[in-house]
Amino acid sequence: MANLNQLTVAEAAEKLAKRACSSEDIVRAVLSSIEKTDKQVGAYLTVDAESALAQARAADTARTKGENKPLLGVPIGMKDLLNVKRQPCTCASKILNGYVAPYDATVVAKLRAAGAVLLGRLNMDEFAMGGSTENSAYQPTRNPWDLSRVPGGSSGGSAAAVAADEALATLGSDTGGSIRQPAGFCGCVGLKPTYGRVSRYGLTAFASSLDQIGPLTKTVRDSALLLGAISGRDEMDSTSLDVPVPDYVAQLGGDLKGLRLGLPREYFIEGLDAEVEQSVRVAVAKCRELGAEIVEISLPHSKYAVAVYYIIATAEASANLARFDGVRYGLRVDGEDPLDQYGKTRAAGFGQEVKRRIILGTYVLSSGYHDAYYLRAQKVRTLIRRDFEAAFKQCDAILTPVAPTAAYKFGEKLADPLKMYLGDIFTIPVNLAGICGVSVPCGFTSEKLPVGLQVIGPALGENVILKIGHAYEQATPWHKEKPEISG
């Protein structure tokens, strides 16, 4: 059947429930799309077609026996830092080349329990460090809307696969905007849940106090579906929250009457691309038209967010990445003694950006600098969180751009890391505060590049931001647009 790869998760689940098609039909359509377009896009590092088809057939058999799980037979792709048993998990790094995961991450186990078909491994910036997917050790991923431009990062493969209809949905991770920014660049929906809403067990850690797993999808409804499937307390992750998981899908629908939406003056600043600002302001006007009250708010400590993030995140990365030593798994470069082996393995295995961040993180944690940098950054992080707490006393959610620009050309920011880091200025504060945010398509630039609207909510406020995103999405045409991928 044609175009089954273009279905949303909700549409596929409905068709499968009605027996209008089989899971094998959908998976074959997705595999065909990957074969046809991924040579240009480069979203996948590996695809296990044989396993995906076997899972699809098993799902079809289960349905004939009366099983009716929410995602039964729906194909979903995985960012290459989520462990899936018997699949590679390289984190797009040479240091983990050849490593095969011996277990399932909790989110993977939850998707399996919901009946999902796991497709393959999606490209990313190495160890999730980057905003363009140019830092992958294996290949670049290209933006389906313009193959000369980046898809964003670090979940660039996850976003590009959804935009190119090479998966019905994917999972990514978001440490400073790594789900929302590529979703904005690629014209899909990207949800960063509240810290602790989703278990991180089986996620290869970058910065443990900031990382969060979330879905990238074609619609807000699909994000609500996936969030419901992967959320909940997990004994394997002490930071996961022991709170009920609401029915996010049931709370979608209706207009925005009675909701107060904040517009932070610090987010509409010099350096914000004029076309991006115009699209976001038109989206804000549409939310007002849908019944929301728009109020101006202030998040005064936002200007420190990038500096704070690149101290805390790099410090945690230097500790987390110390485990990659060439002794137990992955790349090993022999040396004269264990210390020499350790140094040579890491020199050969890590890319330039990962090395840069390990060095930064080790420096800010070192004797004599810990209090001046790391401790002070943690104090300012608290001020940023308090800004949001004060703001949410004035409004139910906050509307901002996702990124200062639309997708940029390959190589444009590689020579200037600071310029690259500043691209996360609107997404980083959400991670520092541990709250939730979603990117929803809100228009295009004159060059037909997608623009994203970010809806930020308080801790465990996913139902509110999904309701707002869904109402806006249903009142606008942007989510229905498809890229034309040429060779």
Q: Please identify every residue annotated as catalytic.
A: 79, 154, 178
* Contact assessment for residue 252 and residue 470, using Cβ atoms and an 8 Å cutoff: yes
Nearest CA to 218 among 179, 169, 150, 172?
Answer: 169
Are the C-beta atoms of residues 457 and 397 closer than 8 Å to each other? yes
Note whether 118 and 80 are within 8 A (CB).
no
- Compute, in degrees rounded to 10, the torsion defined by CA atoms 463, 469, 475, 477: -140
The dihedral formed by the CA atoms of 325, 328, 330 and 332, expressed in degrees to the nearest 10: 60
Closest residue by Cα to residue 110 from 84, 133, 90: 84
| Strands ordered across the beta sheet of 44-47 | 44-47, 117-122, 75-79, 169-174, 212-217, 189-192, 436-444, 450-457, 397-401, 260-264, 293-297
Where does residue 347 rank: exposed (0-12), middle (13-18), buried (19+ CB within 10 A)? exposed
Crossing angle for the helix pair 305-320 and 376-391, nearest 10 degrees? 120
Taking CA atoms, 416 is separated from 39, 413, 420, 473, in Å, by: 29, 5, 7, 35
Mapped onto helix, strand or coil, the DSSP state of residue 254 is coil
Of 10, 9, 141, which is closest to residue 75 (Cα–Cα)? 9
Within 13 Å and on the Cβ side, how many CA atoms surround 132? 26
The Cα-based distances of 201 to 12, 182, 211, 230, 390 in angstroms read 28, 23, 11, 12, 32
Q: What's the rounded Cα separation, in Å, for the pair 45 and 53?
A: 18
